[in-house]
Structure 1
Amino acid sequence: MTATPASDAHRVLGSVVLVTGSAEFLAERVVSQAREAIRDDDADADVTEVEAAALDAGVWLELTSPSLFAASRGVVVRGLDLLPEPMHEQLLVYTATPADDVAMVLLHPGGTRGRALLDRLRKAGAREVKADAPKPWLVAGWASAEARRLGRSLDDAAAEALVAALGDDLRTLAAAIEQLAADNPGRRLDADLVRAAFEGRAEVKSFDIADRAIAGDVAGALELLRWALGQRVPLPLVTSAFAVNLRRLIKLTYAPGGLRDTDLAREVGCSPYQLRRLRPQTRGWDPAGWAAAMDAVANADAAIKGAGGDGGLALERMVLAVVAAGPPGRAGTMA
């Protein structure tokens, strides 16, 4: 079955949506769309997430049986590449005849593992949504398409200027485009507008703030944050950068040993060049620290998207919390 646009993921009840690719942001967008579609159909619907590696016949029966409390339900299965072999046939049978009141979303991170199962799922009727990150030379085109998704136009020059200022992280670009569209209703999103909104961003990015906070440089991180706030950098760009960096570092910390840099980069979701920058940042962190840092980012993200809060203060608190969550004894960390 051919890949369908992410917008088609709204038609989820009574179907199996297969999300394939390593771009976490794009995959999570499909999951969010599916959740919204399910809840639009039934506000009380159950939505359950499960790791494929944990599935067995009993769990599967429970997930696909009618809910006692709602007319419909959603099931999100992550890490399809790790689905136990005995479950393959059950999943294929279900995909061929899905329950009318169940929305099934399967996430496969890309790569060769589980490829045979993917082929069989496509033949069984799963609707595929691609979540592959564009090649570097196609990122500007992706940005233009993202603007069209919001009903706006971002011409080639503007898209190139945006990528030059912010880099190629899709989550960051999407947040910037959304902010540009919201701040400039009815105005053409051209290169001059992009440059005016993100002047200086090529030198100081949200990722630089995140790097300094994760490294324990509280003074440097706060200085760059205050500069960014003074330049009216969209606040979601900052929390997005922290989230992306932390996820990459966590994946790097717990990645399987013995991988070549190219394979490790694919596992982490970065380029081999970026690995050289990320490796030193993982030293001394423990699971509790990673969890505390991610919680701080989630809290800040919720605060800046809420009404009436002080977004700048929320970001400063996030920086301090991330620094405090890291290993003690680093230069610039708090006592």
Structure 2
Amino acid sequence: MATWKPAYLIHGDDHGRISERRAALRARAEAESGAGGLEVIEGDQATPEAVGLALSAMTFAIGRRFIVVGDVERWKQADVETHVVPALANLAPDTTVAFFAREDGRAKVPAALPKAVKKAGGDVVEQATVKARELPKWALAEAQRLGLDMDLSAAQALVAQVGERQQRILRELEKLALENGPGAKLTGEDITDAAADSAEIQVWGLVDALVARDRRTVFKAFLELREQGEAVGRLIPLMARRLREVLAIADRLEAGESPAQVKSSVKGSPWALDRRIKEARATDPDALRRAIETLADLELQTRGMGELSDDTAAIRALGRMAAAH
């Protein structure tokens, strides 16, 4: 059974990691005390006064009581000192409270809260995002923690391969650790060969939807990529490359080559080539050229030459491209 501290504060600007820790804590709490032993206070209900009352309330529940509090980055210092600090100082021995704050800009946890959590015997953990230039060193440290023998050049290759989102880098490291085992020595070449570029794989599905004129899937795939942190500027060349591959095959088929001739001279898995050929035969090469031109215009707009936001410009461009196919 887990050993619980009276209080926890998990805060910082790494919102993805904070969400993961919150989900993990809730799962452990429910496993120990059941759904009835867990109280979640968040959104407009998560005021210092309401939380102070909840911490001070008597309960007749059997077992440990867990209270999970979200959105504390919106609290004010005076309210924390008035309502939360006294409640933490007199916390019941069978109660654990976990505060979560997704900080951003001026939205910060009041200084009184971490002091009160520590004074109550709890833990304060900051989950901060790592600056882009520091990511390889961070990835190297995480690799060592997972038992991988990796040098800095390999860590740099990993960041270049999967992008700058910490959670994606960590998931890739965990996969490499499972596949290679403790103590495995990985070079930059090993990383390039083994680490899948998940964004590129998802872009294939986005391009497939564009070629099929499936506007709904196009927008869904694009929004999913954006939600996982992919920049529009990184997605544009990936989309353009996939469209050019289909266009090259379409041009060859239109010139009279057979699918077998195309497959004999193009690298890639037979299944993937069959799919590209099927797409090329079902589309209009001129429509593909227009789509590539639209992407070129979009790239200019995302480099500060347009009046719209990157997302708005991209959605409009994708809509035109899907309609053109």
TM-score, scaled relative to structure 2: 0.57
Output the CA distance in 1 between the equivalents of 2:100 and 2:68.
Answer: 8
Aligned-partner Cα distance in 2 for 1:133–1:140: 13
What is the correspondence of 1:1-335 to structure 2 with a 5 Å cutoff? 12-15=4-7, 17-39=8-30, 41-42=32-33, 46-56=37-47, 57=49, 61-62=53-54, 65=57, 68-83=60-75, 87-88=79-80, 89-111=82-104, 113=106, 115=108, 118-126=110-118, 127-186=123-182, 188-191=184-187, 192-198=189-195, 201=197, 205-206=200-201, 208=203, 217=210, 219=212, 245-246=226-227, 276-281=309-314, 331-332=321-322
Contact (CA 8 Å) 2:147, 2:184: kept in 1 or not? no
Matched residue type, 2:98:
V
Provide the secondary structure at the position in 1 that maps to 2:20.
helix
Q: Counterparts of 1:278 and 1:107 in 2: how far apart (Å)?
A: 29
Instruction: Give the direction of change, closer, same or farther, for the CA distance of 1:85–1:332 in structure 2 (3 Å limit).
Output: same
* Structure 2 counterpart SS, 1:76: strand
Distance 1:138 1:180 in 2: 21
Closer, same or farther: CA 124–85 of 1 in aligned 2, 3 Å: closer
RMSD: 4.3
Q: Which residue is 2:266 aligned to? A: none
- Aligned-partner residue type, residue 124 of structure 2: E
Q: CA deviation at 1:146?
A: 2.5
- Check conservation: 1:80, 1:114, Cα contact below 8 A: no
Q: Secondary structure at the match of 2:322?
A: coil
Task: Give the Cα–Cα distance (whole angstroms) in 2 for the partners of residues 32 and 273 of structure 1.
Answer: 38
Describe the SS at the equivalent of 1:168: coil
Letter in 2 for 1:19: I
> In structure 2, what is the Cα distance between the partners aligned to 1:212 and 1:147?
33
1:277 counterpart letter in structure 2: D
The answer as to whether partners of 1:45 and 1:72 remain within 8 angstroms in 2 is no
**For the Cα contact (< 8 Å) 1:21–1:130, is it kept in 2?**
yes
Alpha-carbon deviation of 1:190?
0.9
TM-score, scaled relative to structure 1: 0.56
Runs of 4+ in 1 over 6 A off after TM superposition: 272-275
Contact 1:21 1:132 in 2 (8 A): yes
Matched to 1:91, the amino acid is: V
Higher Rg:
2
User: Letter of the aligned partner of 1:246 in structure 2?
Assistant: E
Structure 1 gap segments, 5+ residues each: 1-9, 222-239, 250-271, 285-326
Alpha-carbon spacing, 1:67–1:245, altered in 2? closer, same or farther (3 Å)? farther
Alpha-carbon spacing, 1:114–1:178, altered in 2? closer, same or farther (3 Å): closer
Shift of 1:161: 0.9
Tell me the number of residue pairs that the alignment of Structure 1 and Structure 2 aligns.
Answer: 237
Report if the CA contact (8 A) 1:52-1:77 is conserved.
Answer: no
Asked if the contact 2:77–2:110 (Cα under 8 Å) also holds between the matched residues in 1, the reply is: no
Q: CA deviation at 1:168?
A: 0.6
The letter of the residue matching 1:103 is T
Task: Tell me if structure 2 keeps the 8 A contact 1:13–1:101.
Answer: no
Instruction: Report deviation, 1:106.
Output: 1.7
CA 1:69–1:33 in structure 2 vs 1: closer, same or farther (change >3 Å)?
A: same
Per-residue CA deviations over 1:137-160 (Å, capped at 9, x if unaligned) read: 111122223334434343322211
Distance of aligned partners of 1:167 and 1:205 in 2 relative to their CA distance in 1, 3 Å threshold: same
Contact conserved, 1:55 with 1:84, CA < 8 A, in 2? no
Whether the 8 Å CA contact 2:10–2:126 is kept in 1: the answer is yes
CA distance in 1, matches of 2:127, 2:303: 22
Question: 1:218-240, CA deviations, whole angstroms, 9 ceiling, x for partnerless residues?
Answer: 6599xxxxxxxxxxxxxxxxxx9
The aligned counterpart of 1:313 is none
CA distance in 1, matches of 2:40, 2:147: 31
Structure-2 separation of matches of 1:128 and 1:136? 25
> In the TM superposition, what is the alpha-carbon distance from 1:86 to its structure 2 partner?
7.6
